Amino acid sequence: MEEKEWFAKKVQEVAGNFKVNIEKGLSKEQVIKNREIYGTNELKQKKKKSLFIKFLEQFKDFMIIILILAAIISGIVGYIEGEGITDSIIILIVVIVNAIIGVAQESKAEKSLEALQKLSSHVAKVIRNENLEVIPSKELVPGDIVILETGDYVPADMRLIEAVNLKAQEASLTGESVPVEKASIVIEKEKVSLADRINMVYSSSLITYGRGTGIVVETGMNTEVGKIAGMISEVEDTDTPLQQKLNKLGKTLGIAAIVICIIIFGVGLLYGKDPIDMFMTAVSLAVAAIPEGLAAVSTIVLAIGVQRMVKKHAIVKKLPAVETLGSTTVICSDKTGTLTQNKMTVKKLFFNNQLVELEKVDQNTITKELEKLTFISMFCNDTKVAQDKTLTGDPTETALIDMGFSLGFEPAILEQYERVKELPFDSERKLMTTVHKLPNSYIVYTKGGVDELLQRCNSYIINAEIKQDLEEYKKQIATQNTQMAGEALRVLAMAYKEIDHEPTDEEMKTIEQDLIYVGMVGMIDPPREEVKEAVAKCKTAGIKTVMITGDHKITAVAIAKALGILENEAEAITGTQLEEMTDEELKQNVSNYSVYARVSPEHKVRIVKAWQANGEVVAMTGDGVNDAPALKTADIGCAMGIVGTDVSKEAADVILTDDNFATIVSSVEEGRRIYDNILKAIQFLLSSNVGEIIILFIAILITPLLAKWFNINVNLIVPLLPIHILWINLVTDSLPALALAVDPPEKDIMARKPIKPNQGVFTKGMTWRVIYQGAMIGLLTLAAFIIGLATPIEQLPTVTQTDAQGIVRTLSEEEVRVEIGQTMAFTVLALSELVHVFNIRNNKKSIFKTGIFSNSKLILATIASAALMFVILLVPALRNIFSIPVLPVMNMIEVAILVFMPIVIVELFKLLKINTAKDE
């Protein structure tokens, strides 16, 4: 069966398709039958995930799986050995808390289709069984005859039977910035864009003027809005770059942990260590290798960023979207309402043979001709004006009233001359005429298309003189009209004549004759003032701005040039040209185009996908129903909060509450700052973990040497207990890592190129810093452990221990040495990391130049973590749990020296530029 092109069919053909009598409408039986065939006029709902499923999905992460296995094995071994399951419980609590955070922060179930359904929840006036009925729009079926009037929402896709001065606002569907004039004529072309199908009206559009009758041809999911709903539901949710990088990082660390555990376990057995002890040490190493706090810290860092962005007029619905903004390389933006003000505005006036800009007109020197031009614009106008100057009506007409206000004419002036007759605008005449009563005569005001109006004029007014050589003057009018049209201005001409009596209805038929031409006005939906600066900032930041619109090419090019998006007209193409390209051709040429005009929703999705196929991270901004699929497809979708439709808001990742394109630039800046800070947190946490791995790994390798030097049983030599490692990873490290989230941005943050999407977290520079700084912390900790083992016998304290059964025993000398060494290693590892966090803030500048106190939250977090550490060292009950004796004074001094060594070492590396040696 051939695809139905309703716009190409005659009304009788369409009626025949559904076996409907246009005068009588469908019968009750036909309605029932059609509903069985086509279903209700509603949109399908997408199945939502249950809370339980969302919770389970949090455990798919490779790092989490390894931690759960470590907890289970540790618990079993601990239970068998009678050592308790404290470590297992701590690990499982961490895993569960992380899952709860993940579920809590995950965006609420998709509401895109619910929002689309709201668009269909209006009522419709239909003719059925020869009667006019008002029914819920969901009950409509194909074949129904629907009556449309000004202010009605179109309830389904319809082929027009009758259109009387009918205009429909389709901006949310097609991107057309002004209401489209409709007619019931047949369109004989085979391919016509949605915006140019003037004999069709579409579900979700609004009737702004006139009246009409239509026959329903598509309902529910088959309407144009329905197709968009289908496209949204078909778009798969993709991981953001950060999610992908953290997943990759998790797998890398997990595999590394398993390999190291196997090596350590094997080495320990070769050295004759107890297999159970070695197994527990291997589990400790797995816990050490995996930064348990990383997932939670990265989530909370993003959440803090989201709170900051709310203050900058951006609501982030999905946490990782913040980071995606930071790595955005292309911004595809809708024109109407996003780059422009979504408000028609008069820019230029032509009168007295001169073209002037409205904003340069002096209110004190208004000529008679300009006054006439303004009077015609304001009186020959159906806009409703409220007392507070709020305007309601057609955008073109409200622009003319605004022009009058800007020239100093007040609303009260509209009450001076009563309107006694009128000829409404229609698409055939392209004119509107009103007749007003003056004190002693009547005046006719006419406005409309330039060519159509000039045909009705026989003279013109210039410098207060009425002249007859109109044919000569037409050349100048044509020149100025062409100039304004070239600037994408919509041009209307104005004329008048005075008559001595109120015209009869018969005389009104020929009233638009022998008019006196006054001038023209040129209007446009102007670009937002702040957008030009925002586009320039994007260029500096290495981000390409692309305009995608349903509007005409000439308008799009003019706006794009004004904003600095486009330099050469060859960078602009239309939807028709786009359709002729294959996906491969578009992929190869997409970087050559900055402006796409007269495009459909499917085109927008293709453009976004073409950029993505070239490895770009694409942000899409928009406000209409027609933007929703592209908002979903893009790496990050930004909807407008004020004028944006519910559909676009629900499909988007970010909502710009001030509808300002410039907000996206500050959002990109915030995204980059957050990404930088997450990298700082990762570098801090991983360098700490590498330090823990090195201390455990090296200590196992040199166990025989240590046992021999200090005459200690080989099975006792373990530098850190699992509980020590867990405490450092979850408590000591987490607070400073979180405080890094609010670190202020670097000054050149928007002067550098975006991060490459395929660039992992582990760049050469990052890997180098993590390794050398981790080695530094590990070796300082190992030094502390060895110093502790070497404590002179006379300085050793007496240490007692209470076991699980409550039996107290005194530890042997070698056990005390090991506990002192463990305590020193634990203290140095924890506190040196708190000192080291200040090194992380800037990889190039000295900590004394970055402003140690510029991040007060980091200071507080460091003090809090240190305080918690001292609580463990000083409270006897906790000391017993952590196996910590009171250190001799000399050991305390040695700990203090080792704790501050990271600053000395990293400052030296920064000075010699070794810290950034591997940065590209």
Catalytic residues: 334
E-state strands within 803-912: 808-810
E-state strands within 559-610: 572-574, 595-597
Q: How many C-beta atoms surround the C-beta of residue 506 within 10 A?
A: 7
SS3 assignment, position 178: coil
Six token digits for residue 371: 């006054």
From residue 48, alpha-carbon distances to 54, 120, 230, 703 in Å are: 10, 21, 15, 56
DSSP code string of 609-631: HHHHHTT--EEEEE-SGGGHHHH
> In the block, which residue shows the tokens 């007392």?
387
What sign for the dihedral angle of Cα 707, 712, 717, 720? negative
Contacts of 714 (CB under 8 A, 6+ apart): 271, 272, 273, 703, 704, 707
- CA angle, 17 as apex, 12 and 19 as ends, to 5°? 85
> In the block, which residue shows the tokens 């004004």?
562
Strand 544-548 and strand 330-334: the pairing is parallel
Distance CA 891, CA 889 (A): 5
Contacts of 441 (CB under 8 A, 6+ apart): 498, 499, 500
Closest CA to 687 of 618, 620, 736, 638: 736
| Per-residue exposure over 132-167, b if at least 16 CB sit within 10 Å of its own CB, e if not | eeebebbbbbbbbbbbbebebbbbbbbbbbbbebbb
Six token digits for residue 567: 């330099």
From residue 676, alpha-carbon distances to 317, 329, 462, 672 in Å are: 21, 16, 65, 6
> In the block, which residue shows the tokens 């395929």?
758
What sign for the dihedral angle of Cα 89, 94, 96, 100? positive
SS (H, E, C) 774-834: HHHHHHHHHHHHHHHHCCCHHHCCCCEEECCCCCEEECCHHHHHHHHHHHHHHHHHHHHHH
Closest CA to 817 of 796, 801, 802: 796
Distance CA 668, CA 880 (A): 50
Instruction: Give the containing element (helix H, strand E) for 679.
Output: helix 661-701
From residue 312, alpha-carbon distances to 37, 169, 298, 665, 889 in Å are: 50, 31, 21, 11, 52
Six token digits for residue 768: 């180098």
Q: How many C-beta atoms surround the C-beta of residue 249 within 10 A?
A: 20
Position 790: which residue type?
Answer: A
Distance CA 174, CA 183 (A): 18
SS3 assignment, position 38: helix
Burial (Cβ within 10 Å: 0-12, 13-18, ≥19) of residue 364: exposed
Backbone angles phi, psi at 138, to 5 degrees: -70, -15
Distance CA 20, CA 439 (A): 55
If you ran DSSP here, which 8-state letter would residue 592 be given? G
Six token digits for residue 854: 């510029």
CB 143 within 8 A of CB 18: yes
